[in-house]
Amino acid sequence: MYQYHKRDIDTGKGLSTAIIGIISMRYQETGELHKDFHGATLMSVNYIVKNYGVDALREILFHTGTAVYREINQRLKAGDTSELIGFKEYFLQREGGKFTMTKHDNGLFELVVTECPMEKHLKSLGMAIDENFYLLNKFLNEALCHDTPYGLSYEQLADGVSRECLAFGNGGSSHATQ
């Protein structure tokens, strides 16, 4: 089932309101859950870093955070953190992650994941968790907050345990070529 969100957003590329509605639904797709996507993602990340370097991964995730997840980035630019909060909560709940999110009245939050569903699944496949895995969240968070008043930190505390904090500041460019 598709839902369309009617709102006027200056996209800079002339996207129609209906397209924005479809894009925002990417963040909450329904249907069968394919966790093997995580294995393919990690394999792809490892390939990119090995063959093209960390800056290439940062560049790809920059475009993911600012184009694929455009609605989140645009809302953050406007000072609205609700789409980012919903995105984080939805996928952790959908995939059975264990987490707590402390939300503040000003839209900021602290997210502590005590069991990462992606990491748990990758380990069940016998895949090694290395620095490239953690770069996924770090670089995507940087891109989501690109050119916004926010920064979204990512800190790995232990195996499968991480903390992300949305705070004011540090929303500058994460783009590798800038």
Pairing between β-strand 150-158 and β-strand 161-168 as defined by DSSP bridges: antiparallel
% of the chain with per-residue pLDDT over 90:
64
pTM, entire model? 0.78
Q: Which of 7-16, 133-142, 163-172 has the highest mean pLDDT?
A: 133-142
Indicate the DSSP class of residue 173. Answer: -
CA dist 21 and 69 (Å) reads 12
**pLDDT > 50? residue 62:** yes
- Tens-digit pLDDT profile for residues 146-167: 999 999 999 999 988 999 999 9
To the nearest whole number, what is the mean pLDDT of the chain?
A: 82
pLDDT class of 169 with cuts at 50, 70, 90 = confident
What is the model's pLDDT at position 37? 83
Domain at 35-168, CATH from 3.30.530, 2.60.40, 3.30.1380, 3.40.600: 3.30.1380
Q: Which residue matches tokens 């895949």?
A: 127
| C-beta separation of 72 from 83 below 8 A | yes
Question: Could you tell me the residue ranges of all domains in the chain?
Answer: 35-168
Distance between alpha carbon 67 and the CA centroid of its chain, in Å?
12
